[in-house]
Structure 1
Amino acid sequence: MKRLSIIAALALSASLSGCALLPAASPARVDFVVINDTPYDDTDRAMLAQAIPAVKAQTPPFILHVGDTQSGGEVCGPPDAAFARLLSDLKPIPVFYTPGDNEWTDCDRKDDPATGHKFSELQRLEGLRQRFFATPPVSDGKWHYAQQADMPENARFDYGRFVVVTLNVVGTNNGRDLVMGDDLSVAASAADARDTRNIIWLKAAFTHARKRGAAAVIVATQADMFNQKAEARFVPCHDVVADDKRLCDGFLPVRVALIRESRAFGKPVFLIHGDTSPFTLTQGDLPGDSPSDKAGNLWRLNAAGDAGSDKDKSWGVRDVTTVSIDLSRAQPLTSRGLLTGEVPGRATPGPDAD
């Protein structure tokens, strides 16, 4: 409890720093790019080779990378070098990254070549933190960039009249299913702590937004927080398991907090994620702790990226996503695939995210 109190104090301290009110003339529009769920194969790598110069030609102020930097079937570790090159190739555009399940919670699908045993998900997350979150993507104070103590992958920054926050919320039931390389009691404690810290960080972001006079909040996660079996929805999780047979809702605490904070904020909130193949844009559809517990001011973009095919059909949109948010419009968020021109709603649902 003392440890969590310290974390809460640090999060509150971060939220109060740089809280001068935004000038009224600050832009109420932002255009940026989202990358996720790629590359899984050579076709994805070819797409990225085309997309990188196209992204740089657009000169967006920033890029959100919402995770899954490799296929869930790959051995973890070697693909990190390719992701590091991607970040380098995109410079000088800052990339704000939140990790996906494929690069940490799903690593224990394979044996760690260094040990001959299943990967430890928790050690893998620590490795990602050391490699990709030790150095902030921006240094200019105008961004008001902050990271959460003990969870540096949770970040926040300001752009114009927007506050943007990332949360480490991932697929595989938010790291509670198919835990095969860690002690289950240790993994359960870690999952509980992530839930607590994610909620602290989310609340601090909305507090910061109110103090700054922000006009909107953008929340970025990897997970599609409603990609579950119907019978698991709204059932709290109390542990982690080594299979996926136990039915519970690993996203419930964060989802409830997001709905409540969005309603209390009262201004537009935009949730951007990947994880599953439908390229969709919806408003007011994400439930908290019941089917009716929703926020009408919350838009949800499931970005393009996760795509594939089998002998019967193809699914998803293999692309990166351009996003434009203009708060002067009745429908403030528009998006499309940068290379394909596809718009949300045309993707064919595929199998569960890999």
Structure 2
Amino acid sequence: MTVSRLLATVSVCGMMMAGAASADPFSMGLWGDMPYAKADDAPFIPALIADINASDIAFSMYDGDIKDGSSECTDAIYTDAITMFDSLSAPVIYVPGDNEWTDCHRTNNGGWDNLERLSHIRQTMFNTLDTFGATKMPVEHQGTPGEAYAENTRYSRDGAMFVGLNVPGSNNNMVVDDAACTKKSERTAEQCAADNAEYKERDAANIAWLTESFAMAKDAGDMGIMIVLQADMGFDIPETEDDDESRLSGKEGYAAFLDALMAQTEAFDGQVVLVHGDTHYFKMDKPLPNASHMLANFTRVQTFGSPNVHWVKVDVDATTRDVFTFRPMIVAANAMKSLPN
């Protein structure tokens, strides 16, 4: 048994003994998709950090994209992100986005091997059991620190579970054809084949982590589970009988994960929240239907992102019907921020 799995076992046993009746309310934060150099976000980050630090939150989760999609994937990008995360007083759980690994093969990103950048993220940003933040806390990781799937995390508190998953934009690193392989890129056929192999293995690992998390939440009597990832998996276009964005070309890489999420949500008695970034505007809705009806216990939250340098506060109370209450937090000093000319 790994140290991380042992930590999870001890945590779950403790929750089961405590019971849902002992759950105390608390708050946490959600943010991501910033700072972007092309939007001149950096001068506005201190006000954001100060606003989060002034709030009473237990921890925050960052849902990916530590840089914009047209800047280079240099080592400094990751160390700068660590510095930003560590400037927060409370722990920060980081979830990777496409801009910092999936898209690094692009010519305007420096033409990196994106799988090497993923390995670098794991070795640099997931090399311990601890979160980021001035105050750190251990969380469970699917993989051994520094190795494959160490970026998939899990943390439980007071009747609610929080799951971080590496499900990035750009079709989850799935390459559907030769045109997708070479778009904005000089990738070779061999590199694209390696990307597809990585996608298949990680997609299976993500679904296994998701399934195990729901099982653990049920066993612990948790009343809510929040899943945090980066990709908008196809929620922007209104679904009709003829048009389901999640099934359009360029979204194939999310199909199996979405099917698993739907099945697990239907089988869970509590509230399920999917949090993602990617498209940068705050939204909250219930977009995930099954064949015959809306999934009433499922809520989708999309966080702010560049150039909107704000965050979302979540009040968590497992003794209430909805468990999670969301409040968009507009940082006053950043309210009039606009794109540079």
Instruction: Give the TM-score category using the shorter length.
Output: 0.7 to 0.9
Q: CA deviation at 1:158?
A: 0.8
Query: Is 1:234 the equivalent of 2:230?
Result: no
Indicate conservation of the 8 Å contact 2:32/2:304, yes or no. yes
Query: Is 1:95 the equivalent of 2:92?
Result: yes
Indicate conservation of the 8 Å contact 2:282/2:304, yes or no. yes
CA distance in 2, matches of 1:144, 1:75: 31
CA distance in 2, matches of 1:303, 1:67: 11
Aligned to 1:335: 327
Q: CA deviation at 1:210?
A: 1.1
Indicate conservation of the 8 Å contact 2:31/2:312, yes or no. yes
Structure 1 residues 334 and 112, CA, compared in 2 at 3 Å: closer, same or farther? closer
CA distance in 1, matches of 2:83, 2:29: 18
Aligned to 1:319: 310
Q: CA deviation at 1:51?
A: 1.2
Aligned to 2:154: 156
The residue type paired with residue 50 of structure 1 is A
> Aligned residues: percent identity?
26
The residue type paired with residue 301 of structure 1 is V
Aligned to 2:299: 299
CA distance in 2, matches of 1:144, 1:26: 22
1:17-65 per-residue CA deviation (whole Å, 9 max, x = no partner) reads 5332043443363311112010013642122110112211214110101
CA distance in 2, matches of 1:172, 1:128: 18
The residue type paired with residue 302 of structure 2 is N
CA distance in 2, matches of 1:67, 1:74: 15
CA distance in 1, matches of 2:311, 2:226: 18
CA distance in 1, matches of 2:96, 2:169: 10
1:260-294 per-residue CA deviation (whole Å, 9 max, x = no partner) reads 111111210111111013311112x1246x6x575
The residue type paired with residue 117 of structure 2 is R
Deviates more, 1:12-21 or 1:119-128: 12-21
1:158-183 per-residue CA deviation (whole Å, 9 max, x = no partner) reads 11111111110010111124444462
Q: Which structure's residues are more often helix, by fraction? A: 2
Indicate conservation of the 8 Å contact 2:34/2:68, yes or no. yes
CA distance in 1, matches of 2:220, 2:301: 25
TM-score (norm 1): 0.77
1:317-350 per-residue CA deviation (whole Å, 9 max, x = no partner) reads 33122222345555542221241599xxxxxxxx
Q: Secondary structure at the match of 1:305?
A: coil
Structure 1 residues 249 and 340, CA, compared in 2 at 3 Å: closer, same or farther? farther
Deviates more, 1:21-30 or 1:103-112: 21-30
CA distance in 2, matches of 1:203, 1:11: 18
CA distance in 1, matches of 2:161, 2:10: 13
Correspondence for 1:146 among 127, 140, 144: 140
Aligned to 1:286: 288
Structure 1 residues 260 and 14, CA, compared in 2 at 3 Å: closer, same or farther? farther
Indicate conservation of the 8 Å contact 1:67/1:97, yes or no. yes
Indicate conservation of the 8 Å contact 1:39/1:45, yes or no. yes
CA distance in 1, matches of 2:207, 2:9: 17
Taking the TM superposition and a 5 Å limit, the aligned residue runs for 1:190-229 are 190-227=198-235
Structure 1 residues 14 and 329, CA, compared in 2 at 3 Å: closer, same or farther? closer
Q: Secondary structure at the match of 2:12?
A: coil
Q: CA deviation at 1:305?
A: 1.6
Taking the TM superposition and a 5 Å limit, the aligned residue runs for 1:178-193 are 178-179=180-181, 180=185, 181=187, 183-193=191-201
Taking the TM superposition and a 5 Å limit, the aligned residue runs for 1:233-252 are 233-234=246-247, 247-252=250-255
CA RMSD of aligned residues (A): 3.1
Q: Which has the higher contact order (CA 8 A, sep 6+)?
A: 2
Taking the TM superposition and a 5 Å limit, the aligned residue runs for 1:252-291 are 252-283=255-286, 285-287=287-289
Q: Secondary structure at the match of 1:265?
A: coil
CA distance in 2, matches of 1:48, 1:293: 41
Structure 1 residues 112 and 73, CA, compared in 2 at 3 Å: closer, same or farther? closer
CA distance in 2, matches of 1:146, 1:295: 28
Structure 1 residues 155 and 110, CA, compared in 2 at 3 Å: closer, same or farther? same
CA distance in 2, matches of 1:300, 1:323: 13
Indicate conservation of the 8 Å contact 1:10/1:148, yes or no. no
CA distance in 1, matches of 2:297, 2:250: 30
